[in-house]
Structure 1
Amino acid sequence: METLGKVAVAIVVAVIVRWGWKLLNWVWLKPKKLEKWLRDEGYKGNPYKLLVGDMIGFATMMKEGKSKASPVTHDITSYALPFDHHIISKYGIN
């Protein structure tokens, strides 16, 4: 009976370690590997931020963009898509 308990504990620990590794790989290792690959290819951009990414900056720019009056010109990208406009003007189009 004692051996059965040790085996059960070992299985539970193995499952937890595997889930932990998958989570770490999904949340941190794969995005950092992709970021490194893109930088090696010559792409520039914001560094990876754990889970939230650029969402805080995106929300802030959308709020600022909606608070301003839109211009009476055909070039409204800075008002309609402020985050995209910011990224393209900062890093260029690739």
Structure 2
Amino acid sequence: MEIAPGLIAVSVVLASIVVTWIVRLVNWVWVRPKKLEKCLREQGLKGNPYRILHGDMEEYSTLTRQAKSQVIKGSDDVDVVPHVLPHLHHIITK
């Protein structure tokens, strides 16, 4: 049983394409965000660490639930931002 040289060439090309896609995917999903995180930390910006897939969604949902459970009083001097946009308020205060 002989393997045709054309089949070997096609296999090598397909394997190189798959490896290139995998490298690009890992770079896009992990390497670039971690480099950006490192750069921002060096500039003095603090924040949550990078997490693949779910990110900060767990924290955001907790903040939203807490904001919805609090009652907004009708006075004019009440800060509405923590109730309306709890994510942005948390990010700015952090």
Alpha-carbon deviation of 1:20?
0.3
CA contact (8 A) 1:27 1:51 kept: no
Query: Which one of 49, 56, 59 corresponds to residue 58 of structure 2?
Result: 56
Query: Which one of 32, 35, 49 corresponds to residue 34 of structure 2?
Result: 32
Paired with 1:15 and 1:83, the residues of 2 have a C-alpha distance of 41
* Gaps in structure 2 of 5+ consecutive residues: none
| 2:77 counterpart of 1:80 | no
Paired with 2:54 and 2:12, the residues of 1 have a C-alpha distance of 34
Alpha-carbon deviation of 1:88?
2.3
Q: Which runs of 4+ in 1 moved over 4 A?
A: none
Q: Which residue of 1 aligns with 2:44?
A: 42
Q: What letter corresponds to residue 11 of structure 2 in structure 1?
A: V
TM-score (norm 2): 0.84
Quote the sequence identity (%): 39
TM-score (norm 1): 0.84
Deviation digits for residues 36-88 of structure 1 (CA, Å, limit 9, x no counterpart)? 00011111111111122112211222133223322324311111111222222
* Gaps in structure 1 of 5+ consecutive residues: none
Please identify the structure whose Cα radius of gyration is greater. 2
Root-mean-square deviation (Å): 1.6
Number of residue pairs aligned between Structure 1 and Structure 2:
90
Query: Which one of 23, 28, 31 corresponds to residue 25 of structure 2?
Result: 23
